[in-house]
Structure 1
Amino acid sequence: MRVQAFMFYGCAIFFLVTDVVYWLWSGDWTGTTAMALAVGLAGLIGFYIHFTIRRLENSNGGPLYEDDPEGEIADAAGELGFFSPHSWWPLFVGMSAAAIALGVVFGWWLVFLGVAAILMSTIGFVFEYYRGHFAH
């Protein structure tokens, strides 16, 4: 997966060069700022992937199977991680965020209720698998 990190680094460099050319040619601050944010986003994703892969390689004791030129498909067999079987909490988080957005339009009292609801639903979402049937 090291290739993916370098791909995002390359995108960041491309966006940087394009941003400088755009700024010098047009002088538009809005587009320049948007392109600078694209540079930061691509660099951030590349940085995250790069250091996540380094941590995984250190825990495995060697390169990942994707980076091994002599790797086999069977090397990828096994557990990939924990995936939620089902959850109602994203619905509650979304409804709470909608209440906050509607509160800005209709009244600040709804914003306060939405903030309280989003705090409770986020806590429920984070600690969903600490108790009950799917606790691990």
Structure 2
Amino acid sequence: MKIEAWIFGVTTVFLVLVSPAYWFITDASDHGADWTGTSALVMTTLLCAMVTLYLGFHAQRMDARPEDRKDGEIADGAGELGFFPPYSWWPFWCALTLSLMVFAIAVLAWWLFIIGIVLGAVALSGWVFEYYRGNYAH
């Protein structure tokens, strides 16, 4: 995970340099500083710094992966990589109920919003507990 930490670290340094430059350039215009873009760049900088610290912290505490070692071979990465779930219909139903709730708010139909909450709870429960029963139960 060291290479990922380095990538986010370089991105953080870039954003630390770009954010004040953006503020200075937009402040030089006739309309004043663009606070929306400046705050978005600052928040992006902080988020990249947070990911950098997280990845750097965990890279120090875990054993080096084959791709992190200079003497690593391709065969060192052989074996099981993890659990990759098959296709699922539950994200579709969750997205559909969310769109129903957003539509209900847009047309101010609170009764439809409540129906969307109930259907969304069922869809979200199905997605969360998908691997507790059936063919893919653990």
Q: TM bucket by the smaller chain?
A: 0.7 to 0.9
Instruction: Using structure 2 for the length normalisation, give the TM-score.
Output: 0.84
The match for 1:89 is 90
1:34 Cα deviation from its structure 2 partner = 1.5
Equivalents in 1 of 2:131, 2:59: separation in Å? 26
Structure number with greater CO (CA < 8 Å, separation at least 6) is 2
Letter in 2 for 1:91: F
The match for 2:135 is 133
CA distance 1:116–1:51, change in 2 (3 Å): farther
Task: Write the deviation string for residues 64-100 of structure 1: whole angstroms up to 9, x where unpaired.
Answer: 1111111110011111111111211011111011111
1:129 Cα deviation from its structure 2 partner = 0.4
The match for 2:73 is 72
Equivalents in 1 of 2:110, 2:9: separation in Å? 43
Letter in 2 for 1:20: P
Give runs of ≥4 in structure 1 deviating > 6 Å: none
* DSSP 3-state at the match of 2:83: coil
Equivalents in 2 of 1:100, 1:52: separation in Å? 39
Instruction: Using structure 1 for the length normalisation, give the TM-score.
Output: 0.85
Structure 1, unaligned runs of 5 or more: none
Equivalents in 2 of 1:123, 1:14: separation in Å? 41
The match for 2:112 is 110
Equivalents in 2 of 1:113, 1:52: separation in Å? 43
CA distance 1:96–1:44, change in 2 (3 Å): farther
Structure 2, unaligned runs of 5 or more: 27-32
2:48 to 27, 42, 65: 42
Letter in 1 for 2:79: G
| Number of residue pairs matched by the alignment | 131
* Alignment RMSD (CA, Å): 1.7
CA distance 1:54–1:131, change in 2 (3 Å): farther
Equivalents in 2 of 1:83, 1:68: separation in Å? 25
CA distance 1:90–1:105, change in 2 (3 Å): same
The match for 1:31 is 37
Letter in 2 for 1:96: T
